[in-house]
């Protein structure tokens, strides 16, 4: 199956470092160290370990390094045998997930299918209700950022001064005005029809009289040119730092990145054994960034044959398969009713060409940006509570956005065999589902519900409070008066006002739940079985 995938990939006019995509880069090794281990000390102390020509820190948070050797034969076995090493693997070239077709524009049937026109009646994207500029990153093999139908939609780094050869915002990248080309270590992106067409579907300027309309008309695209796993790791770290800076500074620096589109992947590999990718998706989510991942362009069950990102079990990842104009699974797309979340149009979608305004685009690469663009639209919903929570509770808000997309799919006969939701993306239903949650208002202090009761592994409380900015203690006592759980909760300005208490480690019996401080508290009894 891998040979079939590679034969498809050779149709794409793209070579990285002289290598076909999906193949290991000669002499390059990824190494993740365990906590407290230092690479320099390991290299000094292990006499039988070949010394690399050079090495580069890719992720300080996860202690991931890229090592380069002069020979094609890598010392993988030696590194794996070390107690200080968490993970090691060759550095693979990424596999673009497109199946290019003839450059003939017909129409954007794909947008009608997902009810984009009805969604645009609600919002066309651009900013949140409080004016935050919505950014979606695209990790891909290159971009044509000066295309006229992308004018105004390419992200500008406000912390950087163009062309002065100075790292003005001190993020380690000089003149990164429009993102970064990690394959060349340059602010100037390579030109690639693959990344360009992904960008067109996601964010071509709408209602401007030229070209096509993207899913989100006014989103800001942050281009990240990559070619290998190492590049992708560095790009993810860049995005995490930008969004974290935005969160910490309340919008004064960094970028309000809400999603990153991955129309690429790694075949025949499982996230269970490549934990690096699982952890990266979780860390992106923790700062408020959802990842959209295109599954394989091979007709395989990814749970059996492997695929990254498809098999990564992150709450902040949305995996997408390719559906056709007949609203069915395309014959060449990965599938799983455990690991693939939903379908989105891919086959023969219309997008932008490098030399023209129109070009056909196919494969799961075309499916993923439909979902990434929808995420951008959801954040632009005119709802003040959503905009506030996106900064105050970035991770929780990202999960609400993801849930709205998955619960808003159109059920399609047959897709329950191939996806978790059994459905295909519907933009307007996702927006309307999110819109129903808008409008939280302060209310008298109250504990409205405690369910289920009796409870198994957890129970949830629904409450109201007069002050969104205040925290309230929540305590659980056993019948001997011993405190067995405590935390502080606050009410979100958007979405359900709830808190879930884990109880799987508690012994069966009766417990007392106390919500609030002394003098202003409420009690409930709960039975744990």
* CATH number for the domain that contains residue 500: 2.60.40.3080
Q: What pLDDT does residue 71 have?
A: 76
Q: Going by DSSP bridges, is the β-strand pair 134-140/256-262 parallel, antiparallel, or unpaired?
A: parallel
* Residue owning tokens 């997930």: 97
Cα-to-chain-centroid distance, residue 144: 23
CB 514 within 8 A of CB 523: yes
> Quick check: is 8 in a domain?
no
Domain that holds residue 469: 446-528
Report the residue count for the chain. Answer: 529
Are 88 and 102 contained in the same domain? no
Mark whether 114 and 33 lie in a shared domain.
no
Position of tokens 């409008």? 439
Q: Are 218 and 375 in contact (CB under 8 A)?
A: no
Query: Coil, strand or helix: which one is 57?
Result: strand
Nearest-angstrom CA–CA distance, 417 and 207: 38
Q: Is residue 167 part of a domain?
A: yes
| Ranges in the chain, pLDDT < 50 | 1-20, 99-106
Residues 133 and 259 in one domain: yes
Structure tokens at 7: 């034969």
The answer on 275 and 180 residing in a single domain is: yes
The reply to whether 253 and 117 lie within a common domain is yes
CA–CA separation, 144 vs 112, rounded Å? 26
Backbone angles phi, psi at 458, to 5 degrees: -165, 165
Answer yes or no: are the C-beta atoms of 135 and 203 closer than 8 Å. no
The reply to whether 102 and 159 lie within a common domain is yes
Residue 15, domain member (yes or no) = no
In this structure, are 57 and 175 located in the same domain?
no
Which pLDDT score is estimated for 22? 64
- Please say whether the beta carbons of 29 and 56 come within 8 A: no
Helix (H, G, I), strand (E, B) or coil at 61: coil
Structure confidence by residue, pLDDT tens digits, 69-78: 987 789 998 9
Q: What is the pLDDT of residues 34-92, one digit of tens each?
A: 998 999 999 988 878 888 999 999 999 999 999 999 877 899 989 999 999 999 999 98
| 256 domain residue, yes or no | yes
Residue 188 neighbours by CB under 8 Å, 6+ apart: 181
Alpha-carbon dihedral sign for residues 372, 115, 310, 404:
positive
pLDDT score of 117: 87
Q: What is the pLDDT of residue 442?
A: 77
Which residue, 322, 330, 266, is CA-closest to 96? 266
Residue 379's CATH number? 3.40.50.200
* Cβ atoms 381, 134 nearer than 8 A: no
- What pLDDT is stored for residue 355 in this prediction? 83
How many domains is the chain built from? Answer: 3
Q: In what order do the strands lie in the sheet with 24-33?
A: 54-59, 64-68, 24-33, 85-92
The reply to whether 281 falls in a domain is: yes
Does 360 lie in the same domain as 319?
yes
- Give the domain CATH number at 50: 3.30.70
């Amino acid at each position: 199956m891998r040979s079939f995938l590679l034969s498809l990939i050779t149709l794409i006019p793209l070579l990285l470092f002289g290598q076909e995509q999906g193949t290991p880069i000669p002499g390059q090794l990824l190494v993740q160290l365990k906590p407290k281990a230092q690479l320099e000390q390991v290299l000094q102390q292990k006499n039988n370990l070949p010394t690399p020509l050079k090495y580069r820190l890719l992720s300080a948070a996860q202690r991931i390094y890229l090592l380069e050797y002069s020979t094609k034969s890598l010392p993988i076995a030696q590194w794996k045998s070390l107690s200080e090493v968490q993970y090691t693997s060759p550095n693979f070239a990424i596999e673009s997930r497109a199946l290019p077709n003839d450059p003939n524009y017909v129409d954007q049937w794909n947008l009608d299918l997902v009810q984009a026109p009805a969604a645009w009646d609600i919002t066309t994207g651009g900013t949140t209700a409080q004016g935050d500029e919505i950014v979606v990153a695209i990790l891909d093999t290159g971009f044509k950022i000066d295309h006229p139908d992308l004018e105004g939609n390419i992200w500008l780094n406000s912390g950087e001064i163009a062309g002065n050869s100075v790292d003005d915002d001190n993020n380690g990248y000089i003149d990164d005005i429009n993102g970064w080309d990690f394959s060349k270590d340059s602010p100037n992106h390579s030109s690639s029809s693959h990344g360009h067409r992904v960008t067109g579907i996601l964010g071509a300027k709408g209602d401007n009289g030229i070209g096509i309309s993207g899913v989100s008309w006014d989103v800001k695209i942050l281009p990240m040119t990559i070619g290998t796993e190492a590049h992708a790791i560095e790009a993810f770290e860049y995005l995490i730092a930008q969004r974290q800076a935005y969160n910490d500074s309340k919008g004064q620096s960094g970028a309000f990145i809400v999603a990153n589109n991955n129309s690429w992947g790694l075949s025949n590999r499982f996230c269970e054994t490549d934990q690096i990718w699982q952890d990266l998706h979780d860390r992106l989510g923790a700062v408020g960034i959802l990842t959209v991942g295109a599954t394989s362009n091979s007709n395989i069950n990814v749970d059996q044959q492997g695929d990254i990102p498809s098999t990564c079990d992150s709450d902040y990842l949305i995996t997408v398969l390719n559906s056709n104009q007949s609203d069915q699974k395309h014959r060449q797309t990965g599938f799983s009713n455990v690991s693939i979340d939903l379908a989105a149009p891919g086959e023969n979608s219309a997008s932008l060409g490098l030399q023209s305004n129109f070009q056909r685009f196919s494969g799961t690469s075309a499916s993923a940006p439909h979902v990434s663009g929808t995420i951008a639209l959801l954040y632009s919903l005119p709802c003040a509570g959503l905009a506030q929570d996106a900064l105050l509770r970035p991770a929780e808000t990202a999960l609400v956005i993801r849930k709205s997309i998955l619960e808003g799919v159109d059920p399609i006969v047959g897709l329950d065999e191939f996806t978790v939701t059994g459905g295909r993306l519907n933009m307007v239903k996702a927006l309307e589902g999110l819109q129903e949650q808008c409008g939280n208002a302060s209310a008298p202090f109250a504990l409205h519900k405690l369910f289920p009761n009796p409870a198994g592994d957890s129970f949830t409380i629904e409450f109201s409070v007069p002050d969104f900015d205040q925290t309230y203690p929540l305590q659980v006592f056993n019948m001997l008066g011993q405190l067995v759980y405590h935390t502080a909760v606050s009410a979100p300005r958007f979405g359900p006002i709830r808190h879930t208490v884990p109880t799987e480690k508690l012994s069966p019996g009766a417990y007392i739940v106390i919500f609030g401080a002394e003098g202003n508290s409420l009690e409930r009894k709960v039975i744990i079985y």
